[in-house]
Amino acid sequence: MPGERPGRRLVVVTGGTKGVGAGIARAFAEAGDEVVVCARRPPQAPLDGVEFAPLDLRDPPAVRAFFGRLTRLDVLVNNAGGAPHRLLAGTEAERHARVIDLNLVAPLTASLAAYDLLKRARGSIVMIGSVSGTRPSPGTAAYGAAKAGLENLARSMAAEWAPEVRVNTLVVGMVRTELSHLHYGGEDGIEAVSRTVPLGRLAVPTDIGRAAVFLASDAAAYITGAGLLVHGGGERPAFLDAATVNKPDREH
């Protein structure tokens, strides 16, 4: 457990050992915060200025014990989540339920366990949501359903726990991580997918980290119950490219 360091906030990032979570942890550490990441397995490479604590977030008693050992907490980032590509009809319900457990129930469990500490500090929670929760998500339907529920949960928490605890959601688009090839293919696939984003690239974990630091900062003191889109402008509607009229004049 982290030591007492007056003047520094304590930030817990769930699932903060790789990818987006590691980017979030680094961003808070660079902002001068004391950061603890918790996951089942430690990071492959140590994160500078970040402490690791082993924790299975799908084990409620273990989650309660983890937060019970803390003496203070200023920010909780519920980042742990994800899902493999699984078509609905090709997978049994129990495996889909495990995806919902990790992406929706685990953040609820962690938030409840952290509530008293956050209330005492007048702290904040940042949920890491997804655009998959705002549109159809074929192949990751349970994940999309969980992320939709997570954003609604955050709004309800914000209403119930105000004014002591602020709760917001980062609605994240496509991010380039060490696992991008599993979703988009190799470099050619990543480049092709990047061209569908108005800003012309996938996000990197640092983009998400900086947005999380903002939502947890005093600069966002009047923001709660909000969903901040971090998706590079979203996705160009497919019908615009399929239509045979109103095309840009490529010759001028």
Amino acid at 96: H
AA identity, residue 159: A
State both tokens at 68.
């019970």
Confirm if 149 and 169 have CB atoms less than 8 A apart: no
Residue 238 lies in a domain: no
Q: Is 246 within the bounds of a domain?
A: no
**Does 1 reside within a domain?**
no
Looking at the structure of the chain, the number of domains it has is 1
Rounded Cα gap, residues 126 and 16, in angstroms: 13
Contact residues for 198 (Cβ-Cβ < 8 A; gap 6+): 232, 233, 234, 236
Q: How many CB atoms lie within 10 A of CB 142?
A: 23
Which of the residues are catalytic?
143
Residue 159 lies in a domain: yes
Q: Does the pTM of the predicted model rise above 0.75?
A: yes
Q: 5-14, 18-27, 172-181: lowest mean pLDDT where?
A: 172-181
Q: What is the pLDDT of residues 106-145, one digit of tens each?
A: 999 999 999 999 999 999 999 999 999 999 999 999 999 9
CATH at residue 176: 3.40.50.720
Q: Which two tokens stand for residue 102?
A: 């990790």
Q: For position 183, what pLDDT does the model report?
A: 65
More confident residue, 235 or 181: 235
48: containing domain: 10-232
Domain-located, residue 49: yes
Examine residue 76 and state whether it is found in any structural domain, yes or no.
yes
